[in-house]
């Protein structure tokens, strides 16, 4: 959805966009929740994993990416 929104505004230069839908559930399809669980359960002391996860989080938070678009 974020890609669609960005393309409509950036490429086609639309002025307004509306959605007649409800986005009622959090999008967890990126696997971020599972990576955070792995960190908490098995990789608490792995600073390399923690750093990599912190770098990857913005790219895996699909709801925030959509909101930012």
**Cβ neighbours around 42 below 10 Å, total:** 10
pLDDT computed for residue 26 by the predictor: 93
Residue 50: predicted pLDDT: 97
Task: Output the pLDDT for position 36.
Answer: 96
* Per-position pLDDT tens, the chain of length 69: 999 999 999 999 999 999 999 999 999 999 999 999 999 999 999 999 999 999 999 999 999 999 999
For residue 10, the tally of other CB atoms under 10 A from its CB is: 10
Residue 17: count other Cβ atoms within 10 Å of its Cβ: 10
> pTM above the 0.85 mark?
no
Give the pLDDT score at 66: 95
């Amino acid at each position: 959805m974020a890609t669609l929104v960005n393309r409509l505004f950036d490429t086609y230069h639309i002025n307004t966009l509306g959605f007649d839908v409800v986005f009622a559930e959090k999008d967890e399809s990126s696997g971020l929740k599972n990576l955070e669980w792995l960190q908490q359960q098995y990789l608490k002391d792995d600073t390399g994993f923690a750093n990599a996860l912190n770098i990857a989080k913005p790219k895996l938070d699909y709801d925030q990416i959509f909101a930012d678009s």
